[in-house]
Amino acid sequence: MEEMETYARLMIDFLPTAPDDAWLWFACDSNSDGNGELIGWMIEQPTCPEAAALAIYWYSGAGYYAQYQTREQVPKFGQATFDVLETIQQRLLGKFYRTTAVGFDPSNDPTPIGSLSVPGYDWVGAEPASQSLPSGVRDAVPGTNFGAMNMPEGWVEGMPPEIDTVLEQEYAEEE
């Protein structure tokens, strides 16, 4: 857990001055097993690019959770995620997040899950219940829509090389 705390702290220090694309790269390429602390911080920031918030929304399972109308209908293990999705949805619809030149289209995500050779994943079409979501979270945020496909050389799981290096050193010291 300590390395995840370092990971979150370093990224929280990095993102406020990072290019808008970096927020989207992290949203689309981070390790979902350990990014909860940082995702939680990101969605609380009005400086978070709208495209990154929309990507977080879909990568967090919005299509799956669309089948539930209330928190009480959600199995206990998924209620925290449902709450996060509700927060993001309300903020996206309320224009809480910053409009930038970075875009994201949940119907044509160029950062395919599991394969860089098949871009164009349709998050909205993948789950029939997604059609019940408001258009403000189904529609594309206009702008450049490269996802992690244009992440600079050396970036790993949405992190710049300097942060990855610190984490790798921590892992080596623990062994």
Residue among 16, 30, 10 at smallest CA distance from 155:
30
pLDDT of amino acid 20: 94
Domain holding 69, by residue range, is 2-174
33, two tokens = 């097993």
pLDDT of amino acid 1: 42
Instruction: Taking residues 27-42, report their average pLDDT.
Output: 85
105, two tokens = 């289209």
The chain-wide mean pLDDT, for the chain, equals 89
pLDDT > 60? residue 50: yes
pLDDT of amino acid 114: 53
Instruction: Taking residues 5-9, report their average pLDDT.
Output: 84
Report which of residues 150 and 76 the model is more confident about: 76
150, two tokens = 């244009």
pLDDT > 50? residue 5: yes
Instruction: Taking residues 116-139, report their average pLDDT.
Output: 87
Residue 106 · residue 142 · CB < 8 Å: no
* pTM for the structure as a whole: 0.90
Instruction: Please tell me the total count of domains within the chain.
Output: 1
pLDDT of amino acid 51: 96
Residue among 21, 18, 43, 15 at smallest CA distance from 102:
21
DSSP bridge pairs for 144: 102
Instruction: Taking residues 103-127, report their average pLDDT.
Output: 79
Q: Is 147 exposed, middle or buried (0-12, 13-18, 19+ CB in 10 A)?
A: buried
Which of helix, strand or coil describes residue 5?
A: helix
